[in-house]
Amino acid sequence: MIHGNSEQFYYFAYGSCMCPVDLKRSLRENTHPYVIGPAQLKGYRLGFFRYSRRRQCGVLDIMHTPGATVHGVLYSLPWHLSALLDHREEGYVHHPVTIECRGKTFSNTRTYTVLEKLGHEHAPSDWYFDVVMRGALTCGLPESYCWQLFAHMHGLQLQQQQAA
């Protein structure tokens, strides 16, 4: 496969789309061949600043934060999947970023950010938690980052349980 030609676009996934199996469900096409590898977005951090009515839980977003880094998965997707990806990411808008992956820099990479952010984080469901962790582990994100992600999501779930 040729990466980065005019018939494809780079896409940085940091939430449930890190899991190629879950992404396949929405795009109706096997997405494993489109994975370039684990990648980093510098100057951002993760947060659950959106409540998805469809998923009935908090879902991930990125926030500009100097000195922080978000790990995720870089894909090179065919253009014919663009509209399906946009549909999956309802409530989000395109956000062009520069990504580092396998010692290379990928500018003008598409990611998504929440259009109307909540003022506080909302906990993920167990299902969303599992999909995010499966994607992070399957695609080889650093172990220390996986533990941080796990602890953050688990902490939000505990806060929600205690508030109920």
Q: From start to end of the chain, where are the E strands?
A: 8-13, 35-52, 57-78, 92-101, 104-114
Q: Is 89 a catalytic residue?
A: yes
Residue 14 marked as a ligand binder: yes
- Among the listed residues 7, 29, 89, 121, the single catalytic one is 89
Residue 75 marked as a ligand binder: no
Token pair belonging to 6 = 């005019």
Residue 11 marked as a ligand binder: yes
Residue 16 marked as a ligand binder: yes
* Residue 79 CB neighbour total at 10 angstroms: 11
Residue 128 marked as a ligand binder: yes
> SS3 for 8?
strand
Residue 145 marked as a ligand binder: no
Contact 140, 20 (CB under 8 A): no
User: Where is the binding site for substrate, in residues?
Assistant: 11-16, 128
Instruction: Write out the catalytic residue numbers.
Output: 89
User: Where is the binding site, in residues?
Assistant: 11-16, 128
